[in-house]
Each structure stands twice: as structure tokens, then as C-alpha cells.
């Protein structure tokens, strides 16, 4: 399986996270050492475990985008991502998403069989929009105020839901001018990306307002600091909060839920979707 058919998502899909980085906030260092050595065997096994637990999409990232994260070179990112992508595409039956802002990696990933391009910078780097259009793949655009290194330095909003919606609408229109079909776009409100706790909670409470954009929605709150702030729990103890957040998102119509904790999230979004279906009947 390669491409993701956005029109066929009936039950919310779960996207499992495989970060091939030494410094991601939750799983950094599991598959790439601080010395830069990639363990593609371990990454492949993790992807397989997630698929067996019910994930439909595996999202591979080679650049940490946690607050304060250091940048990596384009070649470093390619060297981390491509060996894992190629192994998963060859050996596992799933959609593979590549989490990148690099146009070069986007093109290489598309050629190697990726089924989704997922860019936290919404394809705003030079050449990224053209790479997305040329790939003809589904893409995910995300709202972020600022850049990962500084995004949590006192972000401000007058109306966080309205401003996120405006940004995503503008990017949809701009990408359309670059040749990206609207029916190939997934939107992500960007929980934790340039947003304080109240901003995140407000977005989640009003998530259904983003349906006016006419695109399926991806959400990712797994293990994030918004959960830690509410629950007063460290990263490794945020499972139950993450499951609750995923359930709320699915109840409000999210089509893809990105998580580190696949099995629990699969059950949660399936049940939330059933409740949503009953409320619509």
C-alpha cells in the first residue's frame, strides 16, 4: 500500500510515530544515537509493532520539532529517513508518511513510495510547494506560530481558533495556486506548536469549527506538554490523558490521530467514532 485515499476514511485512522532522531521529546534516541548512528532494524520493528496494534499509517520524522530543538542539515535528515522509509515500504503493508519540510526529501520520499507528505511548516520553504504538487501525493499542512526553536516564547492570539482557521485557509488557497489539489490536503491545527495551554484547550474544545475548511483533519497531542500541564505528569506517564484527548478529537470529527501509543488510541478513537455516528443518526 502506498498512497492515502482521503475520500475513503470512514473510521478515523491512527498514525504511529517513528522519530529517527536523537532528540525528539518522547522517543528521541531510540532509533538514532547521539553520535548519529541509525538503527533501522529497531525502527522497522517498531513500525511493525504499531501496525500489529492497529495503526494504518506510519509517520517517519528525521528532524525534531520539539520546542527549542536544534536544526539539522538536509543531508542528515535524508540519511536518517530514507533507509527506514525504503525498508517499511518494501516490507510492510501500510501508508508511510514522511514528516519533513525539506523539498529534496519530499521528492526522494515520493519516489521511494511514501503515501503522505506531512510538513509542520506547511510547505512554505522555497521549493516545498512545487515538490508537493509534483508528487501528486496527499499532503498535511499544519499551523505553527514561529519556528520550533522559538515557537513557545510567549505566543499570543486574539482568537486562536479564528487565526488558525485563517492561516490554514490561506495555505490551502496558496498551495492550490502551486498546483496542489484541494482534495489532496489534510489540515492539522498544530497542538503545541506556538501555543500555550489555554490556546491548545480552546482549539480542542472548538475543533469542529475547522470543518468549514472542507479538508480532513489530522491531530497530534500524544504525550505533549499540554497533557503534562493539566495532569502534572512527566512524558512517560501521559498515556491516559493522551487517550482522552484523542477521543475528544475523534468525537469532534478528526480523521487521522497521530500517536506514540497505538493500541490504546485505536480503541479510543473507534469508540468515539461510534458515539459520533450515533449522534448524527
Q: What is the pLDDT of residues 217-236, one digit of tens each?
A: 999 999 999 999 999 999 99
| Residue 147 binned pLDDT confidence (cut-offs 50, 70, 90) | low
**Residue 274, helix vs strand vs coil:** helix
* Average pLDDT score over residue span 28-37: 61
pLDDT at position 149 is 56
Top mean-pLDDT range of 57-71, 138-152, 216-230 = 216-230
pLDDT at position 27 is 54
Chain segment 5-23, per-residue pLDDT in tens: 888 888 899 999 998 977 5
Domain-located, residue 265: yes
Q: What is the mean pLDDT of the chain?
A: 90
Domain count of the chain? 1
Active site residue 224: yes
CA distance 262 to 113: 23
Chain segment 241-251, per-residue pLDDT in tens: 999 999 999 99
Domain-located, residue 121: yes
Domain-located, residue 1: no
Active site residue 223: no
| Residue 148 binned pLDDT confidence (cut-offs 50, 70, 90) | low
pLDDT at position 281 is 63
pLDDT at position 280 is 73
Domain-located, residue 133: yes
pLDDT at 151 over 80: no
* Average pLDDT score over residue span 127-141: 97
Going by the DSSP 8-state scheme, the letter that residue 149 receives in this structure is T
Of 80, 224, 252, 255, the catalytic one is 224
pLDDT at 28 over 70: no
Helices (H), the chain: 40-52, 74-91, 103-112, 128-135, 160-177, 197-205, 225-231, 239-251, 262-280
Residue 249: beta bridge partners?
none
| Residue 67 binned pLDDT confidence (cut-offs 50, 70, 90) | low
Q: Residue 230 burial by CB count (10 A; 0-12/13-18/19+): exposed, middle or buried? A: middle
* Average pLDDT score over residue span 253-257: 97
Instruction: Quote the cell numbers at residue 13.
Output: 485512522
| Domain of residue 172, residue span | 6-280
pLDDT at 165 over 80: yes
pTM: 0.92
pLDDT at position 14 is 98
Q: By C-alpha distance, which of 51, 50, 77, 47 is closest to 65?
A: 77
pLDDT at 25 over 50: no
Q: Residue 32 burial by CB count (10 A; 0-12/13-18/19+): exposed, middle or buried? A: buried
| Residue 26 binned pLDDT confidence (cut-offs 50, 70, 90) | low
Percentage of the chain beyond pLDDT 90 is: 77
Distances (CA, A) of 5 to 37, 57, 85, 264: 34, 12, 19, 24
* Average pLDDT score over residue span 25-30: 54
pLDDT at 150 over 60: no
Is residue 83 within 8 A of residue 104, CB to CB? The reply is: no
CATH number reported for the structural domain that contains residue 263 in this entry: 3.20.20.20
pLDDT at 87 over 80: yes
Amino acid at each position: 500500500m502506498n498512497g492515502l485515499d482521503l475520500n475513503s476514511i470512514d473510521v478515523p485512522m491512527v498514525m504511529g510515530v517513528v522519530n529517527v532522531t536523537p532528540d525528539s521529546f518522547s522517543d528521541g534516541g531510540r532509533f538514532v544515537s547521539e553520535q548519529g548512528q541509525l538503527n533501522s532494524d529497531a525502527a522497522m520493528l517498531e513500525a511493525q509493532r504499531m501496525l500489529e496494534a492497529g495503526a494504518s499509517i506510519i509517520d517517519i520524522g528525521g528532524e525534531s520539532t520539539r520546542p527549542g530543538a536544534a536544526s539539522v542539515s538536509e543531508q542528515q535528515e535524508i540519511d536518517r529517513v530514507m533507509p527506514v522509509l525504503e525498508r517499511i515500504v518494501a516490507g510492510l503493508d501500510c501508508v508511510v508518511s514522511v514528516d519533513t519540510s525539506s523539498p529534496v526529501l519530499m521528492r526522494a520520499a515520493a519516489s521511494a513510495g511514501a503515501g503522505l507528505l506531512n510538513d509542520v511548516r506547511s510547505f512554505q520553504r522555497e521549493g516545498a510547494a512545487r515538490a508537493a504538487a509534483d508528487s501528486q501525493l496527499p499532503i498535511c499542512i499544519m499551523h505553527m506560530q514561529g519556528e520550533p526553536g522559538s515557537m513557545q516564547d510567549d505566543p499570543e492570539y486574539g482568537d486562536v481558533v479564528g487565526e488558525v482557521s485563517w492561516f490554514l485557509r490561506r495555505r490551502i488557497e496558496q498551495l492550490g495556486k502551486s498546483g496542489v489539489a484541494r482534495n489532496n490536503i489534510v489540515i492539522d491545527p498544530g497542538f503545541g506548536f506556538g501555543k500555550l495551554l489555554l490556546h491548545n484547550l480552546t482549539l480542542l474544545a472548538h475543533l469542529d469549527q475547522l470543518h468549514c475548511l472542507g479538508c480532513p483533519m489530522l491531530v497530534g497531542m500524544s504525550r505533549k506538554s499540554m497533557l503534562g500541564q493539566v495532569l502534572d505528569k512527566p512524558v512517560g506517564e501521559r498515556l491516559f490523558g493522551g487517550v482522552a484527548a484523542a477521543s475528544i478529537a475523534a468525537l469532534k470529527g478528526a480523521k487521522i490521530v497521530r500517536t506514540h501509543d497505538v493500541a490504546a488510541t485505536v480503541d479510543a478513537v473507534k469508540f468515539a467514532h461510534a458515539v459520533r455516528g450515533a449522534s448524527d443518526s
